[in-house]
Amino acid sequence: MKIWLLLIAAGLLICQTVQGNKTFSFEGYRLYRADPFTKEAAAVLRSLHDAYPSEPEPGLGLTFFNYPSHRNVKVDILVPPRLVSAFRKAVAGRPDIQLELLHRNYGRVAAQADRENRQFPRLMKRLRRAVRRSDQLILNHNQYLRYDQLLEAVNTLAQQCNLLRSNTCRQQEIGSAYEGRKLIVLRIEKSQTDKQKRKVWIDGGIHAREWISPATVLYMADVLISKGLNRRMWTPEVVALLDYYDFLMLPLYNPDGYEYSHSHYRFWRKNRQTNGGHPSQSRVCRGVDLNRNYGYKWGGSGSSSDPCQDNYRGTGPFSAMESAAVKRFVEQENSDKKILLFLSYHSYGQYVLMPFGFKRGAYPRPALSAGKMSCVAFFGSREMFSTNHRFYIHGTSADVLYEASGGSDDWAHGSLEVPYSLTVELPDDGAYGFLLPPAYIRNVGSEAVRGLLAMLRTIHDLETNTNFYRTRCLAHTAASDY
């Protein structure tokens, strides 16, 4: 072990930097997928993750696209050119780790993705001149928008919504990010005087590099407005949703990090607040993982006290301005216990995850609560599969993916007692990963909408039909095991 640590340390002496407004190039970087078969193999990957973060300079270490938790959970790792030999010696020689090379030069993949994001809108504009769309929504949904563009898109949705039905949509600034960018919630409330209506919270973009997430939440908002209020496009089930529920939608939770991932470093994950350095080193690192900064079981497994790690949990619960703003807003909205469903969209991997994520084998109590949530996750994932035949795994994040303390879904259910709290990891399963082309936005968005409809349909049945859980849920899920 000492040998490969020295080899990696030697490679780390040569690093690259991001200067000014120049976007970091991943030329020559390789993307590997490691599949650990034993606990010891998973521990080796965790030691690499902890010892060599990619901060404070992007070329300084290894970039893990997902956390190495336990055996049989595959991990995608981006390796700089100078570390390829040392990394392979550390990992490839082990019989209990299967190593697959996904991309030999990830810089070319990233550059191609950037070109597609700039060129695809022009292509779609030409196509629309020739083909009249029957499902024309308010927005185009053909590009990953920058922060200013996204705010403009939310404003457009609100304006068009109120033209279709007055006083139905409004924008609410709930706080700001560390660098001053606004956190804007789009409220869709068909009847603002009906105090009995339940609420649905939906957020996206809590992790900066997950561009498909805010794009999907924006698409979902467009569908709710266009197909729920526009008589020419009415879909009965969407109309019914707006009759039953009020929607609180935060498309972009982490605007600072998101903008930085566009302008500087594509795979940035955290927010952009300043931190101190690592206690034992002279490194100064930035950012808090906002999905490790929530107060329920904060500071446990799957989070780090090292400010240079991608999963840095912050100095305390809600120490980040963004998570603190969301906390204040959601607590106020739930003061009368009206939030029925808390949904957070991430990428990538294709999972529908329920609490609890802080520890394996931890489930909501009573068992019926866990069973109901598992049932909602099951029917939601099944409906999303039927849309594009992409398979989603459902379960607790700790059981099927990795332990992650301080998460928003754990907090919503564990602290606020929101009955149904889920995290959806959007496509794909790794072929594109975070670089999913913009051509997929509508495809993934329609999948997410179908999943949302199925989840709320299932919740409605569970809340109104006492036999539904016994006759439908137990027949299709393993909920009775919780």
Q: Domain residue spans in the chain?
A: 22-134, 144-481
How many Cα atoms are found within 13 Å in the side-chain-facing hemisphere of 403? 18
Residue that wins the pLDDT comparison between 195 and 338: 338
Mean pLDDT of 199-227: 98
Instruction: Mark whether 40 is an active-site residue.
Output: no
The per-residue pLDDT for 479 is 39
Q: Give the whole-angstrom CA distance, residue 269 versus residue 289.
A: 7
Beta bridge partners of 226: none
Q: Give the whole-angstrom CA distance, residue 72 versus residue 95.
A: 14
Between β-strands 339-347 and 420-426, what pairing exists: parallel, antiparallel or unpaired? parallel
Cis peptide before 307 (omega within 30 of 0): no
Look at the alpha carbons of 19, 312, 320, 284 in this order and tell me if their dihedral is positive or negative.
negative
Look up tokens 């185009």; give the residue. Answer: 140
**How high is the mean pLDDT of the chain?**
89
The pLDDT > 90 percentage for the chain reads 77
Phi/psi at 32 (5° precision): -110, 155
Annotated active-site residue in 173, 425, 447, 463: 425
Give the count of beta carbons closer than 10 Å to the beta carbon of residue 251: 29
**pLDDT of residue 120 exceeding 70:** no
List of E strands, 132-273: 169-176, 182-188, 198-204, 245-250
The per-residue pLDDT for 414 is 97
**pLDDT of residue 285 exceeding 50:** yes
The per-residue pLDDT for 194 is 76
pLDDT band at 11 (very low <50, low <70, confident <90, very high): very low
Q: Give the whole-angstrom CA distance, residue 394 versus residue 68.
A: 19
The CATH number assigned to the domain with range 22-134 reads: 3.30.70.340
Q: How far is CA 102 from the centre of its chain?
A: 22
Q: What are the pLDDT digits (tens) for 318-346?
A: 999 999 999 999 999 999 999 999 999 99
Q: What are the pLDDT digits (tens) for 123-160?
A: 555 545 444 454 689 999 999 999 999 999 999 999 99
- Helix residue ranges per DSSP H, 170-315: 212-229, 236-244, 255-263
Mean pLDDT of 239-264: 97
Residues 6+ apart with CB under 8 A from 74: 33, 34, 35, 66, 430
Q: Give the whole-angstrom CA distance, residue 141 versus residue 220.
A: 11
Residue 208 and residue 421 in contact, taking contact as beta carbons nearer than 8 Å: no
Question: Structure tokens of 342?
Answer: 């808390």
Residue 26 and residue 261 in contact, taking contact as beta carbons nearer than 8 Å: no
The structural architecture, per CATH, of the domain 144-481 is 3-Layer(aba) Sandwich (3.40)
Q: What are the pLDDT digits (tens) for 454-471?
A: 999 999 999 999 999 999
**pLDDT of residue 40 exceeding 90:** yes
